[in-house]
Structure 1
Amino acid sequence: MGLNYQGGHDEFNSLKPTAMGALTQLYAGTTPESADLGGTAAPDTVGEAKETVDPETGRRMWKWLEKEMKDIGYRP
């Protein structure tokens, strides 16, 4: 098992059942290969959009997520 950057499919990047929906994010956030990425899952050659590290954008997104979750019945 491993990442396939050639555009093919392997067992890591194929479709997963709903119960495994966060597997990609969990893998990216916990794999030893991402330890030095500072919380991002993108290699240096890709970079990151400025919006991903902007505190105001983060606050707006979090507020939107809370509203959306509340609308479907989620209560923290």
Structure 2
Amino acid sequence: MHTQVHTARLVHTADLETEARQRAYDMLSAAFAGEFTDADWDHALGGMHALIWHHGAIIAHGAVVQRRLLYRGTA
């Protein structure tokens, strides 16, 4: 029998706890060697987040945020 060591969570930004939000930001900042800016993070907010946890640490993050794009005045 295998012990589950990964936990997946799907959560909206509005429901993301402060600690999880900070851990995701810290992980991304480390992954991009300090080139991950607050503006980059802002683009990941306002939608759904997929978080993968391993022994209490976030090891993966993905975000899908709906945006309205206009082209020549048409959405």
Report if TM-score (shorter chain) is over 0.5: no
Between Structure 1 and Structure 2, whose CA radius of gyration is higher? Answer: 1
Higher helix residue share: 1
> Normalised by the size of structure 2, how large is the TM-score?
0.23
Q: Which has the higher contact order (CA 8 A, sep 6+)?
A: 2
Higher strand residue share: 2
